Amino acid sequence: MKKIVALSAAAGVLLSGCVTLGLSTESAVIRAKNKVAPALVHIRPVKEVFTGGRRTEVLVVGSGFIISRDGYVVTNEHVAGESAFVRCVLENKEEVEAAVVGVDPYTDIAVLKLAEDHGPYPYAKLGTSRDLEAGQTVIAMGSPHGLARSVSLGIVSVTDRYLPEGGPLPAPYHTWIQTDAAINRGNSGGPLVNLRGEVVGVNARKQARAENIGFAIPIDAVVEVVDAIIAHGRVQRSWLGLTLQEITVKTDDVTQKGAVIADVDPLSPAYEAGLRAGDVLLTVNGQSTDARFVEDLPAVRKRIADLAVGEPATLRIARGGAELDIEVVTAEKSELRGKEVEFREWGFTATEVTPAVARVVRLETPTGIFVSGVQVGGLAGNARLKRGEIILSVDGRAVGNLAAFQRLYGELVGGKQRLVLLQVKFGALTRFVLLKQEDVSSGAAVDSEEDVGED
Q: Which residues does the annotation mark as catalytic?
A: 78, 108, 188
Nearest to 221 by CA among 77, 109, 339, 359: 109
* b/e code 34-65 from CB counts within 10 Å (16+ = b): ebbbebbbbbbbebbebbbbbeeeeebbbbbb
3-class secondary structure, 80: helix
3-class secondary structure, 305: helix
Q: Alpha carbon of 10 to those of 15, 22, 135, 454: distances in Å? A: 9, 18, 28, 52
d(CA 162, CA 299): 11
d(CA 404, CA 139): 50
Q: Is the dihedral of CA 132, 40, 189, 332 positive or negative?
A: negative
Q: Which amino acid is at 416?
A: K
d(CA 242, CA 268): 8
What is the maximum span of the chain, computed from C-alpha positions, in angstroms? Answer: 105
Query: How many other CB atoms are found less than 10 A from the CB of residue 291?
Result: 23
| 424, 367 Cβ separation under 8 angstroms | no
Nearest to 356 by CA among 241, 214, 269: 241
Q: Alpha carbon of 332 to those of 22, 130, 170, 308, 344: distances in Å? A: 52, 28, 18, 9, 33
Contacts of 399 (CB under 8 A, 6+ apart): 367, 368, 369, 391, 392, 393, 405, 408
| 299, 288 Cβ separation under 8 angstroms | no
d(CA 215, CA 129): 13
State how beta strands 340-343 and 125-126 pair.
unpaired
Q: Which amino acid is at 338?
A: G
Q: Note every long-range contact of 299-303, with CB atoms under 8 Å and residues 24 or more positions apart, other chains counting.
A: 300/244, 300/259, 301/172, 301/173, 301/244, 302/173, 302/174
Let me know if 320 is exposed, middle or buried by CB neighbors in 10 A (0-12, 13-18, 19+). Answer: exposed
